[in-house]
Amino acid sequence: MGADEFIAARVSPETKARLRAVAEHEQLSESALLKRWVGIMLTGAARQEAAVGVTPRASRNARLMVRLAPDDQILLGDRAAARGMAPATFVAVLTRAHLRALTPLPKAELLAMKHALAELGSIGRNLNQIARAASAGQGFTPPSREHVALMLKVCSALRDRVKALLEANVRSWAEGYAEPRE
């Protein structure tokens, strides 16, 4: 961002001399020192506005820089890769989840849930067709005990799979991994 605006103020000779002395002590020009002070002053004003509830609108592109130890960077990379996310995206999602007490469902897990729901929908449609045929008195062969037992087994397995998926998701956001690490 270019700094092409100019701020000027008239001061007494004593104030000018004191400013020059501080600038020399800081090894800055008078202009650089004033520019620094204006920045500090405006940052303090922003904090004060935030304290009384005046919040400036944050840009979606605002960046936050965080330093991590090399071993933490490796862990971050591993955990982000396990979720199929870029490390920065993982940190953003993790931070949002923590701040808002959420447990987000990543794309792969959401697709698995949608697949399970599609399977349950198919079973439901088949059961409806059987029920309609029985109600209409149409000649049909009812499903055998084995078929009903098989449908029940599939439904129970899907229920258990979805439940395990959701529990692993919650646990992984809390602990970092879906399965405990040794």
> What are the angstrom distances between the C-alpha of 37 and each of 77, 121, 143?
39, 65, 82
Q: At what angle do helices 145-175 and 107-135 cross, to 10 degrees?
A: 160
Reference 90, options 75, 79, 74, 105; nearest CA is: 79
Rounded CA separation 84/35 (Å) = 44
Q: Which tens digit of pLDDT belongs to each residue from 17-72? A: 998 998 888 888 888 888 888 888 888 766 666 666 655 556 666 777 888 999 99
- This prediction has a pTM of 0.41
Question: What's the token pair of residue 64?
Answer: 């936050």
Q: Which tens digit of pLDDT belongs to each residue from 48-60? A: 666 666 555 566 6
Q: What is the pLDDT of residue 164?
A: 83
Q: What is the pLDDT of residue 70?
A: 92
Q: Where are the domains of the chain?
A: 13-51, 63-102, 105-182
